Amino acid sequence: MDLPDDAQALLALPPARFAAERGAVAARLAAAGDPAAPEVRKLRRPVGLAWVLNRLARDRPREVAALLAAGDEVRAGTRRAVSGAGAGALRDAEQALRDRARGLRLEAERILAAEGRPPPATALSRVELLLRVAATGGAREVLRAGELLREPEVGGEDLSGFTVVAGGSATALRRARAATPSPRPSPPARAGGEGGVRAAPARAAREVRNDRARAREAREERQLRERQRALAAARAEAVRADRRAAQEKSRAEEAERRAGEARARAAAAKAEADRLLAKVLELQRGR
């Protein structure tokens, strides 16, 4: 966006403060004769948690840059895994991306808490997921600039925040074949001649090679699809595990809060019982 910095900073504000701040910035720009004032007045409030991601980009640019670098490693590792080169590098890259996203999640918790109330665990889990999605998808540079107007879209195959990048061996095979010129057909052999006798085995051999190539390509296509499904299933399960962990943590915190309240009530009841017992003893001594 071609806007002054104080106008771009509006995209990192919480929804409750956006409209008032936008009006103030637009009025200030208009008073200074800045032609950007009308555009600022039309600036829309970021949807959902997009403003939190924009704030992270502005407050923690180095950490966001490290997150995006980890996203690059995941994309490269995915291409290598899909092509059959091994998934070890992909697992390491995914773990690094998770670590970066969780570090920024702690900063997001501070940002949300500063707005007046502690954020729910579900909102923080959502922030972490959106960071991973942005780091491996098409919103990378918009996140880096802190100019998201809506949350990055989480698709069916990237529920964990990782997008499967095409480019496996089957795709490369098809591209190589498309780039290779087809051999020019040989002139037909005369029936009954010596050339016809020699051409028949040659044609049969070519057909066998073509059949084998088609079978190999079909096999590689199946393997590619199976790897993609396995990756998507594993990542979806990881997201579900994260959500379950967040829910269990929330339940544990609620149970701890209730236990604290129960202990406080028990202590108050004990104090009241001690007071009444002391009063009874005092009355007995006075009698």
State how far the alpha carbon of 27 is from the alpha carbons of 15, 46, 258, in Å: 19, 20, 50
Three-state secondary structure call for residue 68: helix
pLDDT digits (tens, 9 = 90+) for 93-147: 999 999 999 999 999 999 999 887 788 889 999 999 999 999 998 888 999 999 9
Q: Which of 75-89, 109-123, 189-203 has the lowest mean pLDDT?
A: 189-203
Q: Is residue 237 part of a domain?
A: no
Domain count, the chain: 1
pLDDT of residue 53: 96
Lowest mean pLDDT among 38-52, 117-131, 267-281: 267-281
Supply the pLDDT for residue 226.
64
- Per-residue confidence at 20, pLDDT binned at 50, 70, 90? very high
| Residue 49 domain-assigned (yes or no) | yes
Q: Residue 227: what pLDDT?
A: 58
* Mean predicted confidence (pLDDT) in 18-28: 94
3-state SS, residue 103:
helix
pLDDT of residue 160: 45
Residue 73 lies in a domain: yes
- Residue numbers of the domain that contains 24: 5-145
- The amino acid present at 23, given as its one-letter code, is G
pLDDT of residue 108: 94
Kind plus residue range of the DSSP H or E element containing 86:
none
Task: Give a yes or no: residue 209 inside a domain.
Answer: no
d(CA 137, CA 244): 25
Evaluated on CA atoms 94, 100, 102, 108, the torsion sign reads negative
Mean pLDDT, residues 196-220: 67
Indicate the pTM of the whole model.
0.54
192-205 mean pLDDT: 58
User: Residue 9: inside a domain, yes or no?
Assistant: yes
- Is 215 inside any structural domain? no
Specify if 202 maps to a domain. no
What are the angstrom distances between the C-alpha of 139 and each of 40, 50, 102, 153? 22, 11, 19, 9
- Residue 28 — very low, low, confident or very high, per pLDDT cuts 50/70/90? very high
Query: Which pLDDT tens digit goes with each residue over 220-239?
Result: 657 656 655 656 554 656 44
Section 155-168 average pLDDT? 42
Q: Which residues touch 162 (CB under 8 Å, ≥6 apart)?
A: 74, 78, 94, 97, 132, 136, 231, 235
Tell me which range, 14-23, 154-163, 217-226, is most confidently predicted by mean pLDDT: 14-23
3-state SS assignment for residue 14: coil
Contacts of residue 105, defined as CB under 8 A and 6 or more positions apart, other chains included, come to: 124, 127, 128, 131
205 part of a folded domain? no
pLDDT band at 17 (very low <50, low <70, confident <90, very high): very high
